[in-house]
Structure 1
Amino acid sequence: MINEYEKLLAGLDDVDWAGLSHAYESAHDVPGHIRTLCGDDDEARKQAFNSLFNSIFHQGSRYSASPVAVPFLARIAVAGPAAAREETMLLLTRLAVDWHDEYDVTTGINVAGWRAAAAEAGPEEFLPWYEEQLAAATDADERTELQELRDWVAAGNSPDSRWSALQSYDAVLAELPGLLALLDGDDRCLRTRITYLLAWFPEFSSTSLPRLLALAAHEKDPVTAATALLAAGLLGPPSTAGDITPHLDAAEPLMRWAAATALIRLANLDETPVGPGLIGRAVTELTAAARSPFDRVTDYCEGDLHGHIQRTLRSLPPGSNPASVREALEACLPRIVWDSSGSRSRRAIQELFPAPLPHPAPRFADLTAAQQQLLGDLAGHLHTWLIRSSADRLRELGLPHTQEALQSYVGTHRTA
């Protein structure tokens, strides 16, 4: 361990980690992983991050050890080794909001609703039920298991994921004043990470919103600036439209896309000053972005520009420029960069291939441009399970239904 970082971990060994839990029961190994983040062994640091992602944030689940780890991670993000800070910010973001952006990217997080749901699923709500079950149990093994669960709940835990996730969210919320220092740093990646994180904390918006608008106006890096602009659109009241609208005329297309996306979110709020003409301009920008995607994108919606545009357009009230909206949606349809559930892929296949192809299948070069784009994206997709989830439909259509077969079909005809 490098001594200069020892102060960041003050109190780490005072925590009863063995009494806390993560995905693999006792969290006794967490302090060792956190300490490794501040070491000088790059491979060990990588393994420590993997272990933390898989234990205190396991496939989106948070545990009693998760919020306790947050203050130490926040210190590392602000003042830890350069090699550890960006990845630590990513872990803090996931601990706070999981993949909420996949679902809430057009509206922002409804924290009030989340808090209300969590309040109905807290330990005090579950404890009477466990005590009732324990009193009625007669089997010794069942009583032992129920006693352990009852004691765990009595210690202030809840089996409801909404409650446990909120504990980590609030732990990160408490660290935001210190993390704001990253906005003023020289590291562009860290500025982008903290900007993205701020987008999901409406309760902190009185502090963050002015900083985000200023960053969008003066930041040199377009990705960081666009991230800030979108964050402002997710957090801001209707009056924020006045600050965002000028960015529709930005020279950088990524900024115009961000402004358009933010304005559509604001247009869905009550008493918004965003009129039909402005919505029309926003839809035009989203259509242009769908047709000519950028080399660099933001982290929103896992970096899936077309998925983000599609979600944004579908959030518009019915009847909002239907022809131009349909045109933009059609431009998004064949582009599959990221699709966590596979639903976008299946929908695109259904719409672009409404009927089975003749046998034998036509040459790839004879398909429409949209069909070629879709199959090309699927063939080169990072996650093979995405094609497996659509394999039955591809087979019914007479198309290759494995990634290897798709790659051969696309590649052979592209080079023929």
Structure 2
Amino acid sequence: MFTGIDEVAWASMKHAYGSAEEVPRLLRGLASPSPQERERALDGMYGAVHHQGDVYDSTLACIPFLFALVARAELPDRSGVVELLVSIGGGATADEQPLEDADPVGERPAEGADPADDNHAMARTAVGAGAAVFAQLVGDRDPEVRRAAAPALTRFLDEPERVLGLLAERLDEEQEDRVRPALAEALGLFARLRPSVGAAAVDRLVALCSAPHDPGLRLAALGQLAGCAPDRLPIDLVSTVVALLRARSRWPRVEDLPERPDTDTLIGRLRRLRPADEEGSQLLRTLHTALGGRTADRIALLNGQLTCDAATDRCNAVWMSAGLFCEWRGSYEEPVALIGEQLLLGDGRLRDAAVSVLGDLFTLARPAADHLAELVATGPEHSTRRWERGAPTLGGALKALARAGDRRAVPALAEVLGGPVVPYDAGYTIKYLGAAAEPLGPLLRARLGEVPLDSPDAYDHASPLLSALGGLRHTDALPEVLRLLRGMTAELRGRERLVKAATQTLGAFGPAAREALPVLRELLDGEYAVAAASALWSVEGDAGAVLPVLRRELTRGKHARASAEALGRLGPAAGAAVPDLRRMAASEDVWKQAAAAGALWDVAGEPDPVLTALRSAWGRNVHTRGTLAACLGRMGPAGTPAHALLRTELAAPRRHQARSAGHGSHDIVEDEQLLRLCRTALESARPGPRQATFAPPRGPARTLAAPEGSDEPC
């Protein structure tokens, strides 16, 4: 099994963390009689030798030994090694290109290409060369090995007729409930990877969708059909799937899964996070993914799942909803209300899933607000969450309620602010309550006054409080803000960010912060010049004091974007900066271009250069669209030539920064804000007695754009 392993020059090879001299120990660990040692070895392979999907010279050298391991029927836990081989061979990618269209396996990249691409190509070749082993493993005595081998066989064995014959044979003989869906998945994969010869696989999937097959296998077949032959799906797809889900929950199943060790490895932690019904979760994830933008069908499917009797089916539905909500636009009131109903049903796993999903919905969570408020009222454990390591955070239910803008969150937040430790995310969350959070101002002020200036965590404690106080314009906190600015030392960790946060809060206070003028003027000559100048304009409205500073910083590069945004708030008073803003509007840096476009309109009211820059930035980076749509709203009728961009955005079914792999916690709220800005801009250009025109701001600006870093990390 390990013949020749000691002759390999492992010490001269590399993995993610340097020398690969430890790799023989990891390979031998995969064959250890100890389950804990086997899991630690597999964790080490993923963590170093195949780190985040990378392929190193040591990864390539492991492939023959991994094949030797999976061929030894007496060894346990070989399914994990099969999956590792599939991943090394690049077979677990999300975007599956048909093999008939792919470059020849192992073809070397062009000269000058990334050497890592060469390693990946050689890995595909090596795994493909050993793929005959997978043909033996689909009949292995270990069900977990059979389940892992079916998709491996389909991906790597370049003998289509043999692959299809083996899959059909196994489907006729397989007795294990948990293996049959993997065989259906392999058939669907075959049809997608080899469309020219996939008709027989599609026909077999259609046959598997009907009785007498068990509900789990029928669901698996439907999910695969949705991905490879959606025209063969039944007309009554949603009702069929819901009926099968309910039948599956009643279907007698013997869960004879192998026991797994309790190890403190990444693999172990991920296993503990898996859903209680992992197979059901996978079945529904496959179907939802294949349905993609068919939001009406997916909403109806979720509604059916969320009203199933089995808590595991409802829990799977909650997690499935997250992908739909984050990627696609739609009317989600009904499924959100049903998710809210899960909060008080007593199942901890189900409740935690519902809280997690609702927390990222912001105002879209309002149909569930009554249930969130009721959950928050049941006890303080839903207001604050404490961790074994690190500072406490807001409880998920309270955060979701506050993000929804529901004033019933205010009393619980008041209790949190009065507690021994303020969760770092409390201040960032309060702003979503708007004016309803005004009673929290005195508490926020008191906690800001308690922040020790010599603490290395001063920024972490103060910044969220400053954000909330600025959002509320709680000007009574001016002494506490000045205490920070005057008292922090040059050595304080995060000093630059803290100064910016404090000056932004002063700017939000406007003329009420006149006592801060001497401090702000002192900051005009240093690294905080832009933040200080922006705040000084908001407080005093003296263009003569801030314009030279902002023009200077506009051309220095590091603070050019912030300078442009600040110049825009000056309006026509910044007219001397127009030539520089025009040049910046043609910048290759898309964020500078977007900032300069908005500033040009606010300062000079010049539509042509603004529209040119705006169209360019809109297409180059989707993340600029909120800034640009707000600019079009200020332009009124002058922005009409670019309104096609707004209409196209409003008609698009996908969220503007949707991505198939993962999402940010603020993707939904930012997309909903973009849609509102697009509608507002279109409305501003409609004929009427109060038609919008270029109207330069007069006097000091009383509002500020959302400060950079003003919200918790995604």
* TM-score, scaled relative to structure 2: 0.40
1:308 Cα deviation after fit: 1.6
2:5 paired residue among 6, 12, 16: 12
- The 5 Å alignment of 1:184-195 reads 184-195=139-150
Output the amino acid matched with 2:292: R
**In 2 relative to 1, CA 179–253 (structure 1 residues): closer, same or farther, beyond 3 Å?**
same
Are 2:292 and 1:314 aligned? yes
| Counterpart position of 2:283 | 305
- Mapped to 1, the partners of 2:348 and 2:278 lie a distance apart of 24
Q: Distance in 2 between matches of 1:85 and 1:301?
A: 20
Per the alignment, residue 115 of structure 2 pairs with 158
Q: Is the 8 A contact 1:22 1:66 kept in 2?
A: yes
Distance 1:15 1:372, change over 3 A: farther
Segments of 5+ residues of structure 1 without an aligned counterpart are: 1-7, 127-156, 269-273, 355-366, 411-416
Query: Aligned-pair distance for 1:284?
Result: 4.5
Whether contact under 8 Å (1:202, 1:235) holds in the other structure is no
Q: 2:151 aligns to what?
A: 196
* Mapped contact 1:310–1:329 kept (Cα < 8 A): no
Trace 1:112-123 onto structure 2 (pairs within 5 A).
Answer: 115=103, 122=109
Partners of 1:10 and 1:389 in 2: CA distance? 55
Match of 1:252 in 2: 214
Q: Indicate which of 186, 190, 199 corresponds to 1:231.
A: 186
Deviation at 1:396, TM superposition (A): 8.0
Match of 2:39 among 23, 46, 51: 46
Alpha-carbon distance in 2 for matches of 1:221, 1:185: 12
Name 1:110's counterpart in structure 2: 98
Which deviations, in whole Å up to 9, do the C-alpha atoms of 1:330-355 show, x marking residues without a partner? 4468755797996446469985459x
Higher relative contact order (CA 8 A, sep 6+): 1
Q: Which of 169, 172, 176 is matched with 2:131 structurally?
A: 176
CA contact (8 A) 1:123 1:158 kept: no
CA shift in 2, pair 1:395/1:233, >3 Å: closer
Q: Distance in 2 between matches of 1:326 and 1:11?
A: 56
The change in CA–CA distance for 1:51 and 1:159 in structure 2 (over 3 A counts) is same
Q: Supply the AA of the counterpart residue of 2:24.
A: P
Separation in structure 2 between the aligned mates of residue 15 and residue 331 of structure 1, nearest angstrom? 57
Mapped contact 1:264–1:279 kept (Cα < 8 A): no
8 Å Cα contact 1:18-1:27 kept in structure 2 = yes
CA deviation string 1:241-291 (max 9, x = no partner): 3333322223400121122233333425xxxxx65xx53265553343456
Determine helix, strand or coil for the equivalent of 1:304.
helix
After superposing the two structures, state which structure 1 stretch, 281-290 or 400-409, moved more: 400-409
CA-to-partner distance for each residue in 1:169-209, whole Å, 9 max, x for gaps?
33222221023222222211111111132343474433211
1:292 to partner: Cα distance:
6.1
Name the CA shift for 1:191/1:239 in 2 (closer, same or farther; >3 Å): closer
Letter in 2 for 1:19: S
Does structure 2 conserve the Cα–Cα contact (< 8 Å) formed by 1:67 and 1:168?
A: yes
Change (3 A) 1:218 1:396: closer
The answer to whether the 8 Å contact 1:199/1:234 transfers is yes
Supply the AA of the counterpart residue of 2:177.
P
Q: In structure 2, how many angstroms separate the alpha carbons of the residues matched to 1:24 and 1:340?
A: 36
Q: Residues 407 and 195 from structure 1, CA distance in 2 versus in 1: closer, same or farther, beyond 3 angstroms?
A: farther
1:64 Cα offset (Å): 2.3
The CA distance in 2 between the partners of 1:117 and 1:211, in whole Å, is 23
Please give the alpha-carbon distance, in whole angstroms, between the structure 2 residues aligned to 1:54 and 1:21.
Answer: 13
CA distance in 2, matches of 1:285, 1:60: 38
| 2:59 is the alignment partner of 1:66 | yes
For 2:305 and 2:157, the matched residues in 1 are separated by 29
Q: Partner letter of residue 280 of structure 1?
A: I
Deviation at 1:11, TM superposition (A): 2.0
Alignment RMSD, CA only? Answer: 4.6
Q: TM-score with structure 1 length normalisation?
A: 0.65
The 1:303–1:209 alpha-carbon spacing in structure 2 relative to 1, beyond 3 Å, is farther
Q: 1-side partners of 2:349 and 2:384: how far apart?
A: 8
Matches of 2:179 and 2:19, distance apart in 1: 38
| SS across alignment from 1:200 | helix
| Structure 2 unmatched ranges of 5 or more | 192-197, 256-274, 307-313, 377-381, 386-394, 401-714
**Matching residue of 2:75:** 82
CA distance in 2, matches of 1:382, 1:113: 45
Q: Aligned partners of 1:79 and 1:323: how far apart in 2?
A: 49
Q: 1:232–1:224: structure 2 CA closer, same or farther, 3 Å change rule?
A: same
Paired residue type of 1:122: P
After superposition, the Cα gap between the structure-2 partners of 1:125 and 1:167, relative to the gap in structure 1 and judged at 3 Å, is same
- Structure 2 matches for 1:262-411, cutoff 5 A? 262-267=224-229, 275=232, 279-280=234-235, 284-289=239-244, 303-314=281-292, 327-328=300-301, 330-331=303-304, 335-336=315-316, 343-344=323-324, 346=326, 352=332, 368-373=337-342, 380=349, 387=356, 390-391=359-360, 393=362, 399=372, 404=385, 405-406=395-396
Q: State the structure with more CA Rg.
A: 2
From 204, 219, 222, the equivalent of 1:243 is 204
| C-alpha displacement of 1:368 | 3.8
Overall identity of the aligned pairs, in %: 19
CA distance in 1, matches of 2:352, 2:125: 32
SS in 2 for 1:280: coil
Would the aligned equivalents of 1:290 and 1:328 in 2 still touch at CA under 8 Å? no
SS at match of 1:122: coil
Q: Distance in 2 between matches of 1:342 and 1:378?
A: 19
Partner Cα separation in structure 2 for residue 174 and residue 382 of structure 1: 48
Deviation at 1:388, TM superposition (A): 9.5
Counterpart Cα distance in 2 of 1:403 and 1:166: 49
Aligned partner of 1:23 in structure 2 is 16
Q: 1:75 to 1:117 in 2, by over 3 A?
A: closer
Counterpart Cα distance in 2 of 1:58 and 1:65: 12
Rate the CA distance shift 1:195–1:300 in 2: closer, same or farther, 3 A.
farther
Please say if residues 379 and 403 of structure 1, whose CA atoms lie closer than 8 Å, have aligned partners that are also in contact.
Answer: no
Do the aligned partners of residues 282 and 300 (structure 1) sit closer, same or farther apart at CA in structure 2, a change above 3 Å counting? farther
Q: Is residue 79–residue 148 contact of structure 2 (8 Å, CA) maintained in 1?
A: yes
CA contact 1:290–1:309 (8 Å) conserved in 2? no
Aligned residue identity for 1:115: D
CA–CA distance in structure 2, aligned partners of residues 204 and 314 of structure 1: 31
Q: 1:117 to 1:214 in 2, by over 3 A?
A: closer
